[in-house]
Amino acid sequence: MIHVSATADPRQAYFDRLAPDWDRTGPNPQATLARLRGLAGRLGLRAGLDVLEVGCGTGQISGWLAGQVAPGRVVAVDFAPGMLAQARARGLDVEFRCVDVCAPGALEGRFDRVLCFHCFPHLRDPAAALAQMRGCLTEGGELLVLHLAGSAPLNAFHAQIGGAVASDRLPSAAEWEPLLRAPGLRVVELEDREELFLLRAVGG
């Protein structure tokens, strides 16, 4: 099923344009996976869990995720068809869906983990997206927001790139609590330093 909002979001075309070269010009995929392997224990991923990956791009980490949780399933969503085309071409045991996570009713299903990797700052309506993500967490499920850089360098980087992502910001530690309260989430862990941003939140 396709859930792409009619809302014009310039980021959709922006990421579509980047898609063919993303694995070469974006963050280095091998370096990303090496760091994720080191963080695996902190992400609470284990066999049998179902995972929703939000903003999966070309699926750089989707196969790794699937390996962590098999026989649990991974559903990976993005709203840029070009990104998804690259992701599907990998032939992974992952279900890729074209979804705008800021659109009402966007997310279907229930998941033990919702992982927003290198994506959250680009969600044009963070409150709407968080409500969607909260709505598909199982009882005891966790939302993970992960970046391999802290909010300060990341926000400076987006401002420097300019264009559609110039004002895309990862909230700082103090901003998360009120943002998560509205959809009924609370922080269980938050680390924001130069080389890592990791947020874990649960319902309630």
Ligand X SMILES: C[S@@+](CC[C@H](N)C(=O)[O-])C[C@H]1O[C@@H](n2cnc3c(N)ncnc32)[C@H](O)[C@@H]1O
Q: Which is nearer to ligand X, 77 or 144 (CB)?
A: 77
Site for ligand X in 169-188 (CB under 6 A): none
* Least distance between ligand X and beta carbon 204 (Å): 26
Given 102, 146, 154, 201, the residue binding ligand X (CB under 6 A): 102
CA distances from 178 to 50, 78, 173, 186, 201 (A): 27, 26, 10, 9, 13
Q: Any contact of residue 82 with ligand X (CB under 6 A)?
A: no
The CA R_g of the chain, rounded to the nearest whole Å, is: 16
Choice between 102 and 143, CB closer to ligand X: 102
- Amino acid identity, position 43: L
Task: Give the contact letters, 114-153, x = binds to ligand X (CB under 6 A), - = no.
Answer: ---xxx--xx------------------------------
Question: If you search the block for the tokens 């009619």, which residue do you land on?
Answer: 6
Cis geometry, peptide bond prior to residue 153 (ω within 30 degrees of 0): no
Q: Is 185 helix (H, G, I), strand (E, B) or coil?
A: strand
Give the number of other Cβ atoms within 10 Å of residue 119's Cβ. Answer: 21
Binding of ligand X by 55 (CB under 6 A): yes
Q: Is 26 in the site for ligand X (CB under 6 A)?
A: yes
Cα separation of 157 and 143, whole Å?
25
Min dist. Cβ of residue 83 to ligand X (A) = 4
- Counting residues that bind ligand X (by CB under 6 A) gives 21
Strand-strand pairing, 137-147 and 74-78: unpaired
* DSSP code of residue 100: -
Q: Identify which of 166, 165, 169, 170 has the alpha carbon closest to the alpha carbon of residue 14.
A: 165
Residue 79 is a binding residue for ligand X (CB under 6 A): yes
**Of 67-75, 112-120, 134-142, 180-188, which segment contacts ligand X by CB under 6 A?**
112-120
**Residue 113 binds ligand X, judged by CB under 6 A:** no
Could you say which of 36, 51, 92, 101 contacts ligand X (CB under 6 A)? 101
Largest CA distance in the chain: 42
Q: How far is the CB of 27 from ligand X (least distance, A)?
A: 6
Residue bearing tokens 């968080």: 130
* Between 83 and 185, CB nearer to ligand X: 83
Which residues in this chain contact ligand X in the complex, by CB under 6 A? 11, 15, 26, 55-57, 60, 77-80, 83, 99-102, 117-119, 122-123
